[in-house]
Structure 1
Amino acid sequence: MTSQPRMQRSHGRARVALGRAGISDLHQQGSAKVFSTAGRSAPAEIVFLNTSGGLAGGDTLSLAVDLAERHGACATTQTAERAYRSNAGTAWVRVALSAGAGARLDWLPQETIVFQRAALDRVTTVDLAGDAEFLGVETIVLGRAAMGEVVTRLHLHDRREIRRDGRLVLVDILRLDDAALAGGAALLGGARVVSTLILAAPDAEAALAPVREALGQLPVDGAASARPGALVVRLRGADSWQMRGAIARLVLTLRPGRLPRVWQQ
């Protein structure tokens, strides 16, 4: 009796810390790489790359940014991430972001494309000190529309936790599984692309009015809500390019002139 060959798994870990003199710490391991314009432009841009080309069951990817007080940085990904069909196991992604007092950190990765029978568990933690500000976005694309792909089987657990001075201020969770996709009319309304944008700042609620005004001019469905210190925007649409344009409009509403360069290529 022959046993099935063990599948090769991809593991990557990358961490960058930015301080007064630019990069104060940099670590890269496995499939994770990081590039930065720190010291050459302000605010600094940080670009992560997963050289494995995507995520499958059993893969792990860990990304981290540590931003010193009174600094600014925008972190993103070189390309869209892809979560492929999983024959066994779950792909695990962990993103850890921290910003010191007076810092402004943006996490604007490109979209994640999930394929039929993908299994992905992602947790993003954000630790803010004092009056630090954070702007983050995550976009999920269900398959490739141009290829006629329809995703009906999926395990996706996407969790975001934001803390300020050690206190939990926001938890945001997206779960998509077979049952949720089967009831898509109620959950997604036929959308193939969903996005969440979060602003955590001492005066975040002041941005609610301009964000709602911008939402009324976008080609996707959207809604925004706010509470003291946090603003959350939900978007859904049928086309990933339309969604990218919508997100860009909202980001520029909140951060004039702050789109990552890779978003413009």
Structure 2
Amino acid sequence: MLAAAITTRQQRTRGEAYVSFIARGGRAALHGLRQQGSAKAIILPGPEVVFLNTAGGLTGGDRLRYALDLGAGLRAVATTQTAERIYRASEGVARIDLQLGVGAGGHLDWLPQETILFDASAAERRSTITLDEGASCLALEAVVLGRAAMGETLRQLHFRDTRQIRRGAHPVFLEPLFLDSARLGAGAAVLGGARAIASLVMVGQGAEAALAPARAALTEPGVESGASAFDGKLVIRLLAADGWPLRRQIARLLRVLRRAPLPRVWQMQENVA
């Protein structure tokens, strides 16, 4: 009797969403919209762009790309509908690419909700924000290493995250992050037991003036924090034992730095002073 070997090729997610705005009559007008596969973009008044992945998460071999072009002199907010989940990978690496462009004198708040990494997940993400002359941005990235409330513990991991902000062709902020199984337990030199991390970066003329208000807002119990400002940049880094106190601290900072309500899709279950 002969045994037949059957190889099943698993389906992989592919998604790309692109949005662009131009100035028309002194206001932002939608100029381009392209959506393919699992990636979608919802346009709300403001404008506020909400990117979403209809696949519900990513695993090894998946590809996801979000892109936004904001015309000169315009202001906008971009976020994600919910936390992006990176699931266990049976093979391959999930790849995420983010390309955001801000025209001269414009401003973008890039405020995605957190990325949740599951045990044995594998992902690589590259995020680039390009600012033209006089443009500015506020950029957030938050990562949660398993959900404490669900009893999730990470033992295996491959996560490479490269974030950069450029002024034309010149980088003004670069933050590479690489986490693997060895680094998860490497002690204070890496995460020191933290399960949730975030960085919040403001780039633009006068960003240093926001340092004192930002430091005054770093009051959430259970969140370690540090803030510095120099050369038109404000950089805030956060560490927490769980994603919920981290999210509360981020929300407090955003209210102080933006002087505006949180994006509509940020659903808070209790008040943040």
Q: Which consecutive residues of structure 1, in runs of 5 or more, have no partner in the other structure?
A: none
Q: What is the CA–CA distance in structure 2 between the aligned matches of 1:176 and 1:258, rounded to whole Å?
A: 33
Query: 1:23 matched to which residue of 2?
Result: 30
Distance 2:6 2:261 in 1: 52
What is the deviation of 1:6? 0.7
Match for 1:189 among 186, 189, 192? 192
Question: One-letter code of the match for 1:19?
Answer: I
Q: After TM superposition, give the deviation of residue 185 of structure 1 in Å.
A: 4.0
Distance 1:253 1:179 in 2: 37
Secondary structure, in 3 states, of the residue corresponding to 2:18? strand
Shift of 1:263: 0.3
Runs of 4+ in structure 1 deviating by more than 6 angstroms, as ranges, are none
2:164 to 145, 161, 165: 161
Q: What secondary structure is seen at the aligned counterpart in 1 of 2:265?
A: helix
Aligned length: 260
- CA distance in 1 between counterparts of 2:19 and 2:261 reads 20
Instruction: Identify which of 52, 71, 75 aligns with 1:72.
Output: 75
- Partner residue in 2 for 1:179: 182
Q: Find the counterpart in structure 1 of residue 15 from structure 2.
A: 12
Compute the RMSD of aligned alpha carbons.
1.2
Q: Tell me how far apart the structure 2 counterparts of residues 185 and 4 of structure 1 sit (CA, whole Å).
A: 44
| C-alpha deviation, 1:4, in angstroms | 2.6
Q: Give the corresponding residue for 1:50.
A: 53
Distance 1:15 1:144 in 2: 31
Alignment of structure 1 residues 42-191 onto 2, 5 Å: 42=46, 44-191=47-194
**How far apart in 2 are the matches of 1:128 and 1:195?**
22
Segment drifting more, 231-240 vs 182-191 = 182-191
CA drift at 1:264: 2.8
Bigger Rg over Cα? 2
Give per-residue Cα distances to partners, 1:82-132, cap 9 Å, x unaligned.
000111110000000010111110110111110001001000001001111
**Offset at 1:165?**
2.4
Query: More deviation in 153-162 or 182-191?
Result: 182-191
Partner Cα separation in structure 1 for residue 84 and residue 198 of structure 2:
14
Tell me if structure 1 keeps the 8 A contact 2:185–2:193.
Answer: no
Cross-structure match for 2:254: 251
Listed as ranges, the gaps of 5+ residues in structure 2 are 269-273
> What is the aligned-residue identity percentage?
50
SS in structure 2 opposite 1:250?
Answer: helix
Matched, 1:229 2:232: yes
Q: What is the deviation of 1:190?
A: 1.6
Q: Which string of whole-angstrom CA distances, capped at 9 and with x for unpartnered residues, describes residues 192-218 of structure 1?
A: 111111111122222222212222x22
Cα distance in 1 between the residues matched to 2:61 and 2:266: 29
Q: Residues of 2 paired with 1:184 and 1:109: CA distance?
A: 28
* CA distance in 2: counterparts of 1:110 and 1:239, whole angstroms: 15
The DSSP-based 3-state class of the residue aligned with 2:252 is helix
Q: Aligned letter for 2:109?
A: D
